[in-house]
Structure 1
Amino acid sequence: MGSAFSGKVVLVTGAANGIGKATALAFAAEGARLVLADIDSVNGEAVAASIRENGGDAQFSQCNVVDGEQVKALIGMIETTYGRLDCAFNNAGVEFEQSKLADAEETVFDRIMDVNVKGVWQCMRFEIPLMLKGGGGAIVNTGSIAALGAAPRMSAYAASKHAVLGLTRSVAVEYARQGIRVNAVCPAVIDTDMYRRAVELEPRRVDSIARLHPAGRVGKAEEIAAAVLYLCSDGAAFTTGIALPVDGGSTCI
């Protein structure tokens, strides 16, 4: 294992699968002490167990980030166990819709906004006080390239990710002088379970989705993890309030 984050306490939400899982494993490989959170306790526990089996330090806590009391309890547990929180990757999110706005369901809109926006807000409002007690920290929120432009047939999802960037930038300015950095990582299409479920419904879309990226392929979860670790690292000490695209060139066209 590496040592870039040796001894650092790191929280990853949405850690049971996909980008969250890949990021948890990457932090563990660099010596971090991990708290993993997700509503999926089976896969979340499995990720934590895998880290421990490989000599790492990880524990899992089931948490619905929409519920403020659950998030408060999660951060309270981190404070009781470790006394500090150095980094947080607020990654929990839900799948986007595939319909034009006038055909959308209100329940879908509410669910997307609750998890993708309120969930990030809930996490930061409890993470920040603990980070302040420790003299600062780094937060990375999961955005999307849908937050950097238009996303037809994904209007609620895009709106939620635009909101995440608004939260990220505003909070970055609020706490910059108190040693807390807040950034967002903005993936394009990434090869995760979420992506695979989508293409299983329409296998013909695989090639067309790949062509959306000048790199000619979809991204890997590990590539997003690498960006998150950079934003949390000392190498990014002068970086706050940014939305970092990791998108195979998608935002250039």
Structure 2
Amino acid sequence: MTNTTHTTPRAPVGLLTGKVVFITGASRGIGAAAGRLFAAEGAAVVLAARGIDALERIVKEIRADGGVADAVTLDLADSSNIRVAVDRVEELHGRLDGAFNNGAVIQQPGPLDTTSDEDIDAQFSVNFRSHWTAMIAEAALMRRTGGGAIVNTSSIGSRRANPALPAYGAMKRALNSITETAAVTWGHEGIRVNGITPGGTATEMIDAWEAVSPGIVEANNAATPLGRMAEPREVAEVAAWLLSDRASMVTGAMVPVDGGAGA
């Protein structure tokens, strides 16, 4: 299991009050933390992932705390399914103010020359094309009500050579490019688009990597000035700020959330 130093959650301040926010990859990790946090900050959240049972548990938890939440099944490898999920947001709320495109899939760790065609295809469809498709659908809904904000989850691995996860790093770097391009393309319509580049984060994805490559967590902590993995909520906090009106002049940015590991 991953090893982190737990932080004390900050009290909600209504950062996203009145906003409708769509979250992909919301059944676990950063996405699940985002669902809970965004709802606590006042957003009506629509949580999307393949794991509908996990989503329903999170929705039940949010509603029990007085929040507004719904779940929708989503296969990020299926472009038509992405559009259906965004249409569901419109059916539920009639608008979309924020989108956190967070869903991703890890590749089988290994060097460039042993990466399979299947891994490359999966990385392309889920970690790159799905975000492209989602952003177009999200922007179409946002512009009907005067704009909104989109945040894409990239990775510290997009910023430098990534010999252990070459296809993952390549598609995340491509995601950085379309994030910046979308920001320039849609800025005049009041749609802000930013990305975050988390470093090592205590999620199931890192646990899976550690299982096949023992020592990954220890090496990450040693390479991180803050000396630990991020907690999912810490990453979600940055996304929440970028989606909020507090970040009204921020667009086209790729924000590191890596404890200084990329400095």
Alignment TM class, shorter chain as reference: over 0.9
Contact 1:66–1:122 (CA under 8 A) maintained in structure 2: no
Contact 1:135–1:179 (CA under 8 A) maintained in structure 2: yes
Please give the alpha-carbon distance, in whole angstroms, between the structure 2 residues aligned to 1:221 and 1:192.
7
2:232 pairs with one of 213, 221, 225 = 221
What residue number does 1:36 align with?
Answer: 47
Contact 1:117–1:161 (CA under 8 A) maintained in structure 2: yes
What residue number does 2:84 align with?
Answer: 73
What residue number does 1:105 align with?
Answer: 116
The C-alpha deviation readout for 1:123-173, integer Å capped at 9, x for no partner, is 111111100001000000001011111111211000010011011000100
The C-alpha deviation readout for 1:14-56, integer Å capped at 9, x for no partner, is 0000000011111011111010000111111111111111111
Q: C-alpha root-mean-square deviation of aligned residues, in Å?
A: 1.2
Residue 72 (structure 1) shift = 1.7
Whichever residue aligns with residue 157 of structure 2, its letter is A
Please give the alpha-carbon distance, in whole angstroms, between the structure 1 residues aligned to 2:108 and 2:213.
15
Please give the alpha-carbon distance, in whole angstroms, between the structure 2 residues aligned to 1:27 and 1:147.
26
What residue number does 1:8 align with?
Answer: 19
What residue number does 2:100 align with?
Answer: 89
Contact 2:97–2:147 (CA under 8 A) maintained in structure 1: yes
The C-alpha deviation readout for 1:158-211, integer Å capped at 9, x for no partner, is 001001101100010001111000000100010011112222344444322211
Please give the alpha-carbon distance, in whole angstroms, between the structure 2 residues aligned to 1:16 and 1:26.
14
Please give the alpha-carbon distance, in whole angstroms, between the structure 1 residues aligned to 2:36 and 2:237.
11
SS in 1 for 2:262: helix
What residue number does 2:185 align with?
Answer: 174
Query: Are 1:137 and 2:154 matched, yes or no?
Result: no
Runs (4+) off by over 4 Å: none
- Cα–Cα, structure 1 residues 183 and 133, in superposed 2: closer, same or farther, change >3 Å? same
Contact 1:97–1:157 (CA under 8 A) maintained in structure 2: no
Gaps of 5+ in 2: 1-11
Please give the alpha-carbon distance, in whole angstroms, between the structure 1 residues aligned to 2:105 and 2:34.
17
The C-alpha deviation readout for 1:190-249, integer Å capped at 9, x for no partner, is 001111222234444432221121111111111100100111111111100010001111
Whichever residue aligns with residue 104 of structure 2, its letter is G
Sequence identity, in percent?
Answer: 37
- Cα–Cα, structure 1 residues 178 and 211, in superposed 2: closer, same or farther, change >3 Å? same
- Cα–Cα, structure 1 residues 175 and 206, in superposed 2: closer, same or farther, change >3 Å? closer
Please give the alpha-carbon distance, in whole angstroms, between the structure 1 residues aligned to 2:111 and 2:214.
21
What residue number does 2:248 align with?
Answer: 237
Whichever residue aligns with residue 138 of structure 1, its letter is A
The two structures have a TM-score, normalised by structure 2, of 0.92
Contact 2:109–2:209 (CA under 8 A) maintained in structure 1: no
Q: How many residues align?
A: 252
Whichever residue aligns with residue 200 of structure 1, its letter is A
Please give the alpha-carbon distance, in whole angstroms, between the structure 1 residues aligned to 2:215 and 2:121.
30
SS in 2 for 1:98: coil
Please give the alpha-carbon distance, in whole angstroms, between the structure 2 residues aligned to 1:202 and 1:4.
39
The two structures have a TM-score, normalised by structure 1, of 0.96
SS in 1 for 2:237: helix
Residue 96 (structure 1) shift = 3.1
Please give the alpha-carbon distance, in whole angstroms, between the structure 1 residues aligned to 2:80 and 2:217.
41
Please give the alpha-carbon distance, in whole angstroms, between the structure 2 residues aligned to 1:231 and 1:202.
33
